[in-house]
Amino acid sequence: MPKTRKRHYSHSRSKSRSHSRSNSKRKKVNDNEKDHEGNKKAEVVDSPNHKRSVSSQRAQRSRQYERGSSAERRYKRSNRRSPTSKKHRNQEKNTTKKKHTRRSLSQEKHTPKAPSVQDDDEGHLIYKVGNILHDRYKIIGTLGEGTFGKVVQVKDSQLDQNVALKIIKNVEKYREAAKLEINVLEKLADKDPECVHLCVKMLDWFDYHGHMCIAFEMLGLSVFDFLKDNSYQPYPLNQVRHIGYQLCYSVKFLHDNKLTHTDLKPENILFVDSSYDVSYNNKKKKDVKKVKKTNVRLIDFGSATFDHEHHSTIVSTRHYRAPEVILELGWSQPCDVWSIGCILFELYLGITLFQTHDNKEHLAMMQRILGEIPERMAKKSKTRYFHKGKLKWDEKSSAGRYVKDNCKPLMRYKQCDELDHNQLFDLILKMLKYEPLTRITLKEALRHSFFDKISKNQRLGDHGSGDKRERSMSI
C-alpha cells in the first residue's frame, strides 16, 4: 500500500489555495521542471547505499519535484516555437537581480512611471495592508504565494464585499500566461455567466503597473488542504460521492466546449465553504474534522487547452498524469478522466495512488495496480521504456522491490466489500483504462450507479446533453 505522503509546500500547491482564506506561504520550487518539457529522467541507480536508504528516501518524496506553475507551462507551450524566447528568459534573469519598478509596455508608452509602485527581487508587488489598487481594491491581507505571484484578500469598494485578488509577478512569462488564463475564463463566463457548472468565477481583471491582477470570488480550502489539515483522514464515502459528482459535472462542461483542463488535482478543487465539525474517532483515538458542506468549485485554468490549440507533449501534475501523456502518444479530453479517477481514489483513502516522480517507475506502478500496459501502446510509443512491447523494469532492483511492496491490484484497496465501495471502485477502474478510446466518458460517468444515491437537491443539470464522445485523436 502506498505510503502516506509527507507533502511539502510547493508553488503549485499555493496556487490551489489562490482563492482560499489560508495565510500559509509556500517554498520556492524549481526542481525537475525539465519533466514538463518532455525530457526523460535518469533511471534509478541500484547501488547498495541506495538499497539501504530507499524506504526513507521514498517517504520524503513530494510533488515539489514535479510541480511547476501551470501558468508557466502554458506560457512555454504558446511560445515554444518563438526564436526570441531564449532571449526573453535571459533578459528576465538579468532584470530580477535587483529591485525594479517596471510597468507594462502600454503604460510605458502612455504614462509616466509611478515611483511609489515597487517590486521585490523576484518581481512580486510590494504592498501593505490598507493599500488600494486600481482605485477599487483595499488590501486586507495575504492569502497565499506561489511562482506566479501572490493572492491577497481585498475589499472591493464597488461590490462592497471581500474578494480574492491574484497579483501576478511583474515578469513577462507570468504576465503572458495570466493573459491566456484570462482568455479561458472569459470564454467560460460567456458560456456560463451564472457559474452553474462550478468553474470559479472571475469578477474582474486589470494590469497594475505590469502586474496582471485577477479578482475571484472568495472560496474555502482546497479538498487537498482540508485533507492535509485533517491528518490525511479520508473523506466519508458519501462526501467522496458528492465531490466526485460535481467534479465530473464541471469537467464535462469543459469537454463539451472543446476544452481540456489538463491539471486536475485535489489542490485545484476548492470548497465553497470549508467550515467543519469536530468529532472523536474511537478507532483513530483522536479528533477528526468533517466538512459541513461539500459544495466545490474548479479552479486554475492556466493550462486549459482548446482542441484547436497546440497540445504540448507533457501536461498534468505527475501523480494524475495519464499513460498516453507519459508515452507521448498525444492526448485530449480522456486525460482529464484519468486524473479524476486518481482523485477519487485519493479522497477515499487519503493517499496518492501513484506516489512517484519517475516515468518508468510510474509505468511499473500502473502495471502492478492495473495490469499490463497494452502492447499496441507500448510499440507505438517512441520513448525508450519498452523492449519488444514489454516494460524494461527490474523487479529485483530497489525500485522494483519498492513498487512490489507498496502497490497492489486496485480492487485490493477497498476498505470493505459493501455495494457502495464496489461501485466506487468499478467507476475508478473504468476511468483508469489504459486506452483513451475505451476509457469511460464523463457523460457516462455521471450515469454510473455510484452516483445513483446523489440526492435530488444535489443533482445538477441534464446529464443527457452533450452526446459527443471525448476521444484522443492521436491514438
Binding site: residue ranges?
166
Phi, psi of 357 (to 5 degrees): -135, 25
- Rounded to whole angstroms, the Cα distance separating 101 from 93 reads 15
Phi, psi of 296 (to 5 degrees): -130, 165
Binding residues for ATP: 166
Strand 276-281 vs strand 286-291: parallel, antiparallel, or unpaired?
antiparallel
The residue with cell 455510484 is: 450
Please say if 31 is a catalytic residue.
Answer: no
The CA-CA-CA angle for residues 163, 166, 171, to 5°, reads: 160
* Beta carbons within 8 Å of 268's beta carbon, 6+ residues apart: 15, 16, 222, 298, 299, 300
- Alpha carbon 149 to chain centroid, angstroms: 17
* Active-site residue identified among 225, 263, 336, 358: 263
Alpha helix segments (H runs only) across 381-467: 398-406, 419-431, 442-446
Residues 23 and 149: beta-carbon distance below 8 Å: no
* Beta carbons within 8 Å of 314's beta carbon, 6+ residues apart: 35, 36, 37, 38, 321, 325, 328
The CA-CA-CA angle for residues 440, 191, 335, to 5°, reads: 25
Residues 269 and 294: beta-carbon distance below 8 Å: no
Residue type, 273: D
- Can you read off the three cell numbers belonging to residue 104? 507594462
Q: Which of 363, 382, 378, 370 is nearest to 345 (CA)?
A: 370
Per-residue exposure over 39-68, b if at least 16 CB sit within 10 Å of its own CB, e if not: eeeebbeeeeeeeeebeeebeebbbbbbbb
Q: How many CB atoms lie within 10 A of CB 139?
A: 19
Full strand arrangement of the beta sheet holding 149-156: 132-133, 137-145, 149-156, 161-168, 211-216, 202-208
Class of residue 296 by CB neighbours under 10 A (exposed 0-12, middle 13-18, buried 19+): buried
Catalytic (active-site) positions:
263
